[in-house]
Amino acid sequence: AQSVTQPDIHITVSEGASLELRCNYSYGATPYLFWYVQSPGQGLQLLLKYFSGDTLVQGIKGFEAEFKRSQSSFNLRKPSVHWSDAAEYFCAVGASSNTGKLIFGQGTTLQVKP
């Protein structure tokens, strides 16, 4: 069965430091992968998506993610974190059943220290 794992429930980084949030997926074919961000009290906002082609994907707010098929990973990165990046981040994969369902990871909460 398809699944998405975000190994880190909570991460704390200092403002200005680099960030990497991990995401591993389980899927037989080429996956359709997404990263979302959720600020406190808000809905989810799409950061970036990967369908095919270049394995390094650029998103909004200075985020990027790299698809590594050999590691079944789609890690999210940002070179320099801002205090406004504090939020919860969700990785998701498009379900193979063509229903439009997304399989979400459990989420990683990012705290940014001044």
Partner 1 sequence: DVKVTQSSRYLVKRTGEKVFLECVQDMDHENMFWYRQDPGLGLRLIYFSYDVKMKEKGDIPEGYSVSREKKERFSLILESASTNQTSMYLCASSGGGQGARFRQPQHFGDGTRLSIL
Q: Is 97 exposed, middle or buried (0-12, 13-18, 19+ CB in 10 A)?
A: exposed
Under the criterion CB under 8 A, does residue 86 sit at the interface with partner 1?
Answer: no
Under the criterion CB under 8 A, does residue 45 sit at the interface with partner 1?
Answer: yes
Inter-residue contact 24 to 82 (CB < 8 Å): no
Q: Which stretch binds partner 1 (CB under 8 A): 15-23, 65-73, 74-82, 102-110?
A: 102-110
| 41 Rama sector, left if φ>0, alpha if ψ -120 to 50, beta otherwise | left
CB of 64 to partner 1, least distance (A): 17
Selected from 1, 53, 70, 98, the binder of partner 1 by CB under 8 A is 98
d(CA 26, CA 41) in angstroms, rounded, equals 30
Selected from 10, 69, 82, 101, the binder of partner 1 by CB under 8 A is 101
Q: Containing H/E element for 102? A: strand 102-104
Under the criterion CB under 8 A, does residue 42 sit at the interface with partner 1?
Answer: yes
Binding footprint of partner 1 on the chain (CB under 8 A): 32, 34, 36, 41-46, 49, 51, 90, 94-102, 104-107
